[in-house]
C-alpha cells in the first residue's frame, strides 16, 4: 500500500510539474495568418484594386507590451504573453496576404495611385485563459475600428468597428495555447473582414470610381 501511495505521489508530481510549467516566465508567441492555397474569398469578386493598408496601434496603454497574461489558479497575473512581432504589423501582413490572394495589389500608403485606403485602428489583440472545473477555456479577441476611403483622399466609403473572437476548450494550456488562440482570432478576423457586406460594398464602390 505504501508503494502504491509513493508511486501515485510521484506520478502526480511528474504531471504537476508538466502542467505547472513555467508560469512565472514570460511567454513568446508568433501569431501569423497563412492563406490557404487556392482558397478565394468574396474579395475575389471585386475587380482588381490597388489597395493601401494603414494599421495604427491604438491599444490600451496597459496592454501595449503584451497580448495576454499568464495567470495562476486564482486568476492572478504571473507573467506576460509577448508577441515576437508588433501586433499592428501582424494585422497589416494578414490583410495584405488576403488581398493579394484575391487578385488585388497592396501598395504603400504614400503611393498616390491607390484605388482604396483601408485604415485600421487596432483597439485590442488579447488572449486569456479561464480555468473552469473540467477544462481551460482560451478566448482571444481582435478588436478594430476600420475605415475604407476612396483612393488616398478623405472620401470615406465605410467606417465601422470590426471584431473577431475565437474560443477553444483545452485540458492543458501552455504557451502554445496563447499562440493558437491568437492565430484563431486573426484567422476569424480576416474571414470576417473579407466576408463583411459593408466592407465588400465599400471596396466595390472604390472599383467603380476607378
Residues 96 to 135: which contact another protein by CB under 8 A? none
SS3 75: coil
SS3 46: coil
- For the four alpha carbons of 51, 204, 157 and 89, in that order, the dihedral sign comes to negative
Contact track, another protein, 65-84, x by CB under 8 A: --------xxxx--------
- Segment interacting with another protein (CB under 8 A) among 25-33, 81-89, 103-111, 166-174: 166-174
In contact, 55 and 91? CB cutoff 8 Å: yes
Among 42, 121, 147, 151, binds another protein (CB under 8 A): 42
Rounded to the nearest whole angstrom, what is the least distance from the CB of residue 112 to another protein in the complex?
31
In contact, 136 and 170? CB cutoff 8 Å: yes
- CA angle at 101 for the pair 88 and 51, rounded to the nearest 5°: 60
Among 35, 41, 63, 80, binds another protein (CB under 8 A): 41
> DSSP secondary-structure letter at 49?
-
Contacting residues toward another protein, per CB under 8 A: 3-4, 7-8, 11, 15, 18, 40-42, 73-76, 137-138, 141, 143, 161, 163, 165-172, 177, 180, 184, 187-188, 191-192, 195-198, 200
Amino acid at each position: 500500500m505504501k508503494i502504491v501511495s509513493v508511486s501515485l505521489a510521484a506520478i502526480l508530481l511528474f504531471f504537476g510539474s508538466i502542467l505547472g510549467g513555467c508560469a512565472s516566465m514570460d511567454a513568446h508567441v508568433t501569431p501569423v495568418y497563412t492563406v490557404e492555397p487556392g482558397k478565394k474569398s468574396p474579395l475575389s469578386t471585386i475587380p482588381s484594386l490597388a489597395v493601401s493598408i494603414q494599421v495604427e496601434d491604438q491599444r490600451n496603454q496597459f496592454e501595449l507590451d503584451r497580448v495576454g497574461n499568464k495567470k495562476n489558479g486564482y486568476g492572478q497575473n504571473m507573467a506576460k504573453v509577448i508577441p515576437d512581432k508588433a501586433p499592428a504589423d501582424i494585422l497589416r501582413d494578414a490583410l495584405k496576404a488576403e488581398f493579394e490572394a484575391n487578385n488585388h495589389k497592396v501598395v504603400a500608403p504614400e503611393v498616390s495611385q491607390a484605388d482604396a485606403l483601408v485604415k485600421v485602428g487596432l483597439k485590442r489583440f488579447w488572449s486569456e485563459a479561464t480555468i473552469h472545473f473540467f477544462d481551460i477555456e482560451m478566448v482571444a479577441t481582435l478588436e478594430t475600428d476600420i475605415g475604407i476611403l476612396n483612393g488616398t483622399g478623405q472620401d470615406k466609403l465605410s467606417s465601422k468597428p470590426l471584431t473577431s473572437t475565437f474560443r477553444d476548450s483545452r485540458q492543458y494550456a501552455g504557451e502554445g495555447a496563447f499562440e493558437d488562440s491568437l492565430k484563431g482570432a486573426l484567422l476569424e478576423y480576416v474571414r470576417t473582414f473579407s466576408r463583411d457586406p459593408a466592407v465588400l460594398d465599400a471596396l466595390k464602390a472604390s472599383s467603380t470610381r476607378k
